[in-house]
């Protein structure tokens, strides 16, 4: 092969990769900086502030020769890139967050000195992060999973973090079991799957041998773990906390968040299909709502109770697998939280935010819940490594918005330039050095029995009563979903004895549930129930634990999709859009081409989504408005047929006109109260406000 001739002069860099200057000059190399600096662009520099003359080419020994180690610009750029990722959170890695404020509406001055709970009308900035638990940072938004609900309140008295979940109880009672529980639910260590799913052997093996998980399992298998939107989940502080008044008197408190849009879930088949439709379904939903000014809002509720009331409960409130029924201690609404600003930068804020249950302000205190006690250690510990050192509290999203000062010094990434000689206390050399204050944080003077040991309290021994309470409090539809979820998950378990052991546990919860699950698994006989230390007691059902019935019948914050094609009736589309928007919904037009379709009036209506990439799973209700010809064409298009089949299967309202009938027929869509004439916008809106629960038995065999 002939040797290539070395050009005597260096070639100009590839002009196609150079930004055009205002004058149209497309020369590369050294001209670029001058062109950009001449416009409104700031000069690009290294991290040391040294101006960069060429951001396209590395420094080479000759035109086609090796790259020189001397190229500090290239090395700095690549080194920084190599370190762009930090370790993801071991749990709750996948999350989305927003800024906003908390406003106290009712003072709790009788119970607490914490300013955030006593100054009614005051607004406190917050940063709130929602997360899934099991999956990695790049996993999907809609697996069956608990959702984290973590709020950082930047109060006048320091940061208070309420780091909760969307379920009011937890899997385990003692922090000692957390690594085991998390290991079991995460992908299995030898095969590295399944990602973001509890439906596998190790998780159910752990569950079957850990009866304290049973109550949480009921919640996890219910529709609570399939939220329609992060804007529609409840939040719970889970543990009991204390409120302390000026004399140090304590009142126990449980914190609850109530979504203004109402609580709402998807159905399982929909959640599965959403994973394919949009990996970022919840993140996008939150982003779009905030960007469009539809700010998500929650009420803060508290359950307040005394030590004496706690003594009278038939369970131990320090056990995090127990909730306090609202029928026993009603919820008082004391404030609201509004999220009104999407972060400017995902990494700087959402990824680097560090919540910690130990961040607490004077007037609030911990309880002796052994799970909470373990959490008080864990978060700072994990953040030291995740964020690279002891100064992560100085990162803007983590820094208090009130003054803060102490004698902690130095360490990795120290951002503060501390002045003066005094970095210790007591001291007499500097008048402005920080000192402890009488207004500072005080712990409750809790008496103790003084017997040390690795102990599980007898009062924690009842694992089944509240699991039964939850199951029996659900509507029949929800019970069927729960039983079917158990069948689904256990059907993914390969080890027969694990499946059977779980069914054995379920017999303590509710014999009929165990039978349904056993039947769904095809077991020939009910496996034996393991011995129970404390058998389940019957408690009066708590309707507050349901979703169906408590879900708001509304289109506020929901989304309606209208499928059109060339020739669709313009007046019908217009009327449906007007009615849906009037009811508070966002409307999106779906068409075979994203450019849109030419309607009956000759005008082109642009689409918000192309049919193939915008299935009905992303909507709360759909309308299909087609000409006869359009209907004939789309009846042969799988995406259109799936659009209506899935909307029907996911119990959504469907409006259709004469032309759309061919597609409905191809999709096997039957007639019911939720399938309405597109000409009757009012009827469509009425049906679209809720799901068609009665349809479910026609479309799905549930356990
Ligand atoms: Fe967490 N948890 N957790 N957890 N947790 C973390 O902290 C831990 C528990 C919760 O958006 C970690 O910074 C232990 C209950 C949320 O950044 C880690 C125990 C509840 C988030 C940790 C629990 C939660 C976390 C991982 C049992 C509901 C995400 C990264 C003793 C009340 C916060 C990090 C965010 C994150 C430990 C149990 C909620 C490892 C040891 C119960 C919402 O420190």
Q: Which ligand 1 atom minimizes the distance to the CA of 148?
A: 43
What's the confidence (pLDDT) of residue 10? 45
User: Which residues are catalytic, by number?
Assistant: 92, 165
CA of 124 to the centre of ligand 1 (A): 23
pLDDT given for residue 199 in this prediction: 98
Query: How far, in Å, from the CA of 174 to the mean position of ligand 1?
Result: 14
Sign of CA dihedral 319, 320, 324, 325: negative
Question: What is the Cα–Cα distance from 153 to 117, expressed in whole angstroms?
Answer: 11
Q: What distance in angstroms lies between residue 551's CA and the mean position of ligand 1's atoms? A: 28
Q: Give the residue, out of 147, 378, 392, 398, with the most ligand 1 atoms within 8 A of its beta carbon, to mutate for a pocket test.
A: 378
Q: State pLDDT tens for residues 309-353.
A: 999 999 999 999 999 999 999 999 999 999 999 999 999 999 999
Q: Say what the pLDDT of residue 656 is.
A: 98
pLDDT of residue 430: 96
Mean of the pLDDT values across residues 29-48?
69
**Distance in Å, CA 91 to ligand 1 centroid:** 7
The pLDDT value given to residue 38: 54
Taking the CA of residue 92 as reference, the ligand 1 atom at the shortest distance is 29
CB 128 within 8 A of CB 350: no
Q: What is the pLDDT of residue 5?
A: 44
C-alpha distances in Å from residue 369, one per residue of 11, 168, 318, 457, 690: 71, 14, 5, 11, 39
Structure confidence at residue 448 (pLDDT): 86
- Same topology for domains 72-394 and 559-699, yes or no? no
Give 395-406 pLDDT, tens digit per residue. Answer: 999 999 999 999
Euclidean distance between CA atoms 39 and 32, whole angstroms: 11
Burial track 616-654 (b if 16+ CB lie within 10 A, e otherwise): bbbbbbbbbbbbeebbebbbebebbbbbbbbbbbbbbbb
Per-residue pLDDT of 426-447, as tens digits, reads 999 999 999 999 999 999 999 8
* CA of 347 relative to ligand 1 center, distance in Å: 19
Question: Of all residues in the chain, what percent carry a pLDDT higher than 90?
Answer: 93
Q: What is the pLDDT of residues 645-669, one digit of tens each?
A: 999 999 999 999 999 999 999 999 9
How far is Cα 255 from Cα 303, in angstroms, rounded to an integer?
Answer: 7
Those residues with Cβ within 8 angstroms of residue 217's Cβ, 6 or more apart along the chain or in another chain: 171, 207, 467
- Closest Cα to atom 9 of ligand 1: 375
Distance 378 CA to ligand 1 centre (A): 8
Q: Does domain 559-699 have CATH number 3.40.50.880?
A: yes
Pocket test for ligand 1, best of 86, 89, 339 (most atoms within 8 A of CB): 89
pLDDT at 178: 97
Q: For the purposes of burial, counting CB atoms within 10 Å of the CB of 81, is it exposed (0-12), middle (13-18) or buried (19 or more)?
A: exposed
Is CATH 3.40.50.2300 what the domain over 72-394 is classified as, yes or no? no
Write down the pTM of the prediction.
0.94
pLDDT band with cut points at 50, 70 and 90 for residue 607: very high
Q: What is the pLDDT of residue 37?
A: 47
- Assign 390 a pLDDT band (cuts: 50, 70, 90): very high
- Top mutation candidate among 379, 380, 388 for ligand 1, by most atoms within 8 Å of CB: 379
> Looking at ligand 1, which residue's alpha carbon is closest to its atom 29?
92
Q: What is the mean pLDDT of residues 279-302?
A: 98
Does 471 have pLDDT greater than 50? Answer: yes
pLDDT at 139 over 90: yes
Out of 163, 350, 367, give the residue to mutate to test ligand 1, the one with the largest number of ligand atoms within 8 Å of its CB: 163
Task: From residue 467, give the alpha-carbon distance in Å to each of 199, 344, 431, 522.
Answer: 20, 42, 59, 24
Looking up tokens 């079917």 gives: 484
Q: Taking the domains of the chain in order of start, what are their residue ranges?
A: 72-394, 559-699
Task: Look at residue 450 in the predicted model and tell me its pLDDT.
Answer: 82
Measured from CB, residues less than 6 Å from any atom of ligand 1 are: 89-92, 95, 129, 131, 148, 150, 163-165, 170, 175, 178, 238, 320, 354-355, 371, 374-375, 378-379, 382-383
Atom number of ligand 1 nearest to Cα 89? 30
Residues 5-13: what's their mean pLDDT?
A: 44
Indicate whether 26 pLDDT > 90. Answer: no
Q: Which atom of ligand 1 is nearest to the CA of 95?
A: 11
Higher per-residue confidence, 287 vs 6: 287
Residue 382 CA: nearest ligand 1 atom is 44
CA of 34 to the centre of ligand 1 (A): 50
- 646, 270 contact by CB (below 8 A): yes
Assess whether pLDDT exceeds 90 at residue 39: no
Residue nearest to atom 30 of ligand 1 (CA): 89
Q: What is the pLDDT of residue 425?
A: 95
Q: Which atom of ligand 1 is nearest to the CA of 239?
A: 32
């Amino acid at each position: 092969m002939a040797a290539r001739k070395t050009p005597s002069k260096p070639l100009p860099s590839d002009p196609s990769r150079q930004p055009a200057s205002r004058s149209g000059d497309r020369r590369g190399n050294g001209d670029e900086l001058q062109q950009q600096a001449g416009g409104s662009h700031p000069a690009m520099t290294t991290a040391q502030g040294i101006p960069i003359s060429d951001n396209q080419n590395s420094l080479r020994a000759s035109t086609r020769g090796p790259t020189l180690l001397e190229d500090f610009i290239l090395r700095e750029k690549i080194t920084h890139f190599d370190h762009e990722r930090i370790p993801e959170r071991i749990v709750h890695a996948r999350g989305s967050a927003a800024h906003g404020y908390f406003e106290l509406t009712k003072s709790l001055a009788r119970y607490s000195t914490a300013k955030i709970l006593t100054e009614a009308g005051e607004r406190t900035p917050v940063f709130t992060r929602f997360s899934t638990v099991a999956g990695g940072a790049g996993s999907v938004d809609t697996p069956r999973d608990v959702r984290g609900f973590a709020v950082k309140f930047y109060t006048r008295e320091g940061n208070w973090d309420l780091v909760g979940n969307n379920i009011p109880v937890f899997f385990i009672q003692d922090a000692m079991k957390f690594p085991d529980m998390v290991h079991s639910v995460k992908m299995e260590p030898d095969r590295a799957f399944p990602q973001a799913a509890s439906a596998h052997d190790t998780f159910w093996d752990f569950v079957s041998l850990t009866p304290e998980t049973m109550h949480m399992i009921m919640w996890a298998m219910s529709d609570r773990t399939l939220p329609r939107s992060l804007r529609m989940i409840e939040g719970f502080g889970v543990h009991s906390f204390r409120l302390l008044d000026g004399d140090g008197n304590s009142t126990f408190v449980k914190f609850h968040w109530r979504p203004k849009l109402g609580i709402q879930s998807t159905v399982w088949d929909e959640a599965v299909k959403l994973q394919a439709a949009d990996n970022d379904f919840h993140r996008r939903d939150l982003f779009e709502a905030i960007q469009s000014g539809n700010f998500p809002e929650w009420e803060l509720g508290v359950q307040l109770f005394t030590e004496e009331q706690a003594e009278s409960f038939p369970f131990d409130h320090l056990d995090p697998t127990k909730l306090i029924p609202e029928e026993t201690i009603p919820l008082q609404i004391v404030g609201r939280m509004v999220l009104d600003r999407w972060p400017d930068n995902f990494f700087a804020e959402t990824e680097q935010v560090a919540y910690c249950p130990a961040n607490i302000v004077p007037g609030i205190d911990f309880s002796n819940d052994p799970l909470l006690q373990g959490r008080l250690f864990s978060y700072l510990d994990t953040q030291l490594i995740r964020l690279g050192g002891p100064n992560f509290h100085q990162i803007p999203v983590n820094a208090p918005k009130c003054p803060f000062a102490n004698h902690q010094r130095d360490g990795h990434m120290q951002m503060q330039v501390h002045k003066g000689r005094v970095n210790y206390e007591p001291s007499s050399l500097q008048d402005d050095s920080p000192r402890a204050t009488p207004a500072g944080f005080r712990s409750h003077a809790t008496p103790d029995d003084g017997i040390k040991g690795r102990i599980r309290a007898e009062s924690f021994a009842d694992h089944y009563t509240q699991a039964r309470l939850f199951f029996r409090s659900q509507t029949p539809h929800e019970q069927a979903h729960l039983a079917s979820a158990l069948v689904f998950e256990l059907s993914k378990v390969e080890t027969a004895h694990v499946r059977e052991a779980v069914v054995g546990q379920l017999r303590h919860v509710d014999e009929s549930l165990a039978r349904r699950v056993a039947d769904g698994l095809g077991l020939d006989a009910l496996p034996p129930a393991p011995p129970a230390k404390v058998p389940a007691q019957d408690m009066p059902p708590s309707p507050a634990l349901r979703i169906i019935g408590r879900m708001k019948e509304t289109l506020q914050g929901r989304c309606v999709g209208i499928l059109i094609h060339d020739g669709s009736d313009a007046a019908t589309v217009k009327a449906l859009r007007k009615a849906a928007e009037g009811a508070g919904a966002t409307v999106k037009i779906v068409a075979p081409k994203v450019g849109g379709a030419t309607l009956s009036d000759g005008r082109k209506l642009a689409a918000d989504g192309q049919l193939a990439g915008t299935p009905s799973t992303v909507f709360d209700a759909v309308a299909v408005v087609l000409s006869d010809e359009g209907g004939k064409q789309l009846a042969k298009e799988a995406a259109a047929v799936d659009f209506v089949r899935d909307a029907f299967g996911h119990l959504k309202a469907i409006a259709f006109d004469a032309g759309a009938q061919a597609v409905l027929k191809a999709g096997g869509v039957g007639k019911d109260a939720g399938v309405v004439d597109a000409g009757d916008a009012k009827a469509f809106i009425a049906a679209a406000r809720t799901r068609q629960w009665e349809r479910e038995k026609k479309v799905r065999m549930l356990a």
